[in-house]
Amino acid sequence: MFRFVFACFFLFAAGLSAAELPLSPRPASVEVQAGSYLLKDGSAVALQGIPQADFLLSTLSEAAKMKFVQAGNGTAPITFVLKKASQGTSPEAYSLEISSSGIRITGDEAGLFYGAKSLGQIVSGASKADGAAKLDNLKIHDSPRYGWRGFMLDESRHFSGEAAVKRLLDAMAHYKMNRFHWHLTDSPGWRIEIKKYPRLTSVGGRGSETDRSPNAPAEFYTQEQIRDIVAYAKQRHILVIPEIDMPGHADAANIAYPENDGGGFRRSGDKWIRFTFNPAKAETLEFLDNILKEVAELFPDAKIIHFGGDEVNFGWKQWDSLPEVQELMKKENLKDKDAVEGWFNRRMAGVINSLGFKVAGWDEIATRGLAKDKTIVYWWRHDKPQVMRKALADGYPVVLCPRRPMYLDFIQQKEHKVGRVWGGFNPLPDVYNFPAALKLTEAQERNVLGVNACLWAEVMRDQERRDFMTWPRLVAVAESGWTPADRKDYASFEARLKPELDSLKARGFVTLYDPFEKSPEVRDKKEVKALKALDQPD
């Protein structure tokens, strides 16, 4: 009884409900105990034998908004203990104990990092006097619900740049997100340097969704920048997964190297007439093989290359007239263009697998006969839940990223006008409560890797607008991916979110959406009118 009353007092003082802490995402298990510990500014931290000790120390100091120093031998107020994860235990799990004798964080390398983030949040939110924080004694045992907690940034339609990406990675790491899906190629622009084919960036990297003028600047990442960003993410326990779209969404590459053009489509106001690669031309296949080899060298730790594979049927009309396609259909006994696409998918997946990588793709690839132990399916078509359920039943690992509620290009408040609406929109509560509405069975859950939000940038020309559409919905995604289903509570999330908005603004996301104030819509400085989405029904 005393412990419960004490816990209620602690949380009342923090402005939160009972059995709560100022932590986002919410931990799996928290036990608040009697007593407290006074943590002084400048305290020593024991990090003997801990990898990246200096970075871990700076991470803790930054999160706590206090300065700590590394201890020599012997005891210290804060101790990190490296404990390799046992089989069946998440390497991201950690335990955090605050007692009258000090603070102890235990876990594998990723677990220690997340433990430092959690301790930092607790210290940052604690009452302070004379440079010391009063911390209530507690025990936290924490582990993620899903091993995949991701975010996809579309850089083809409108380019973000190195500084914006690093700022994003810092914020993702703060909320214990661990997968950055980098959409680097698409019809509007090619954003990754490929040494063997320099015109991919000098020509294909020119312009954007809203600027196709001949003098538009080429915007892309050099290989040196990519290696730097990949290393930056790795230090923060984030894997960077590149996406190189094929055989559709290929206009930028085909403008640079038109000999690989497989044709596209033309509707009123449309501009993607070189939408596909030629799926059967030997020289085009060699071109793509060489690109994938360079991509694999740039992302060695990802062990996954996403190759798109979506919406190809919107632009494959001209395949009927390509001699290479006709020859392939006869040789391989392929009955139609859908079978040609399947052949292409299997062929390119084999190349990716031979490089030592799994292949990932949008959910269209689930019917292409790809190896289940070497393939990851991204379920994105929210109006086709049967596709997701079939992929899970077939044994494919699945990342849940349906347009509703995980696409952040959908509006988040009904009064907003710029962004997608499809039988509704994606407000913060819907994002937070995902994936409960899917009512997945225990057997289905076993093949779910996790959750992934996607920011498509057709109507996001300016960084301020991208920030507005991303935050704080990405905080909700982080908690959906980390916190056990039985620990999720939207009222708790709202209470913890209020101080997080200030934290995000301090990180530079000053144009974020405030759900408590119902922020007016942040629009691009120059109004953007995007093409009608291909998958949007008339």
Give the C-alpha separation, 5 to 256, whole Å.
68
In this prediction, residue 269 carries a pLDDT of: 58
Q: Which DSSP symbol is given to 190? A: B
Question: Residue 445: CB partners within 8 Å, gap ≥ 6?
Answer: none
Beta bridge partners of 69: 44
C-alpha distance from residue 506 to each of 63, 169, 463 (Å): 12, 15, 16
Virtual torsion, Cα 523, 524, 525, 531, nearest 10 deg: -120
Q: Are 381 and 403 in contact (CB under 8 A)?
A: yes
Q: Which long-range contacts (CB under 8 A, 24 or more apart) does 461-464 make?
A: 461/158, 461/208, 461/209, 461/210, 461/524, 461/525, 461/526, 461/528, 462/524, 462/525, 463/160, 463/164, 464/511, 464/522
In this prediction, residue 528 carries a pLDDT of: 67
Spatial CA neighbour of 499 closest among 19, 65, 60, 56: 65
C-alpha distance from residue 105 to each of 142, 217, 477 (Å): 11, 49, 25
User: How would you classify the pairing of strands 261-263 and 276-277?
Assistant: antiparallel
Strands (E), 205-249: 239-246
Q: Are 213 and 273 in contact (CB under 8 A)?
A: no
Q: Give the residue numbers annotated as catalytic, written as ranges.
A: 186, 249, 311
Residue linked to tokens 């206009």: 251
In this prediction, residue 181 carries a pLDDT of: 98
Residues with pLDDT less than 50, the chain: 1-18, 531, 537-538
Give the C-alpha separation, 262 to 200, whole Å.
17
Domains defined along the chain, listed by start: 2-142 (3.30.379.10), 148-506 (3.20.20.80)
Question: What's the predicted TM-score (pTM) here?
Answer: 0.94
Q: Are 401 and 378 in contact (CB under 8 A)?
A: yes
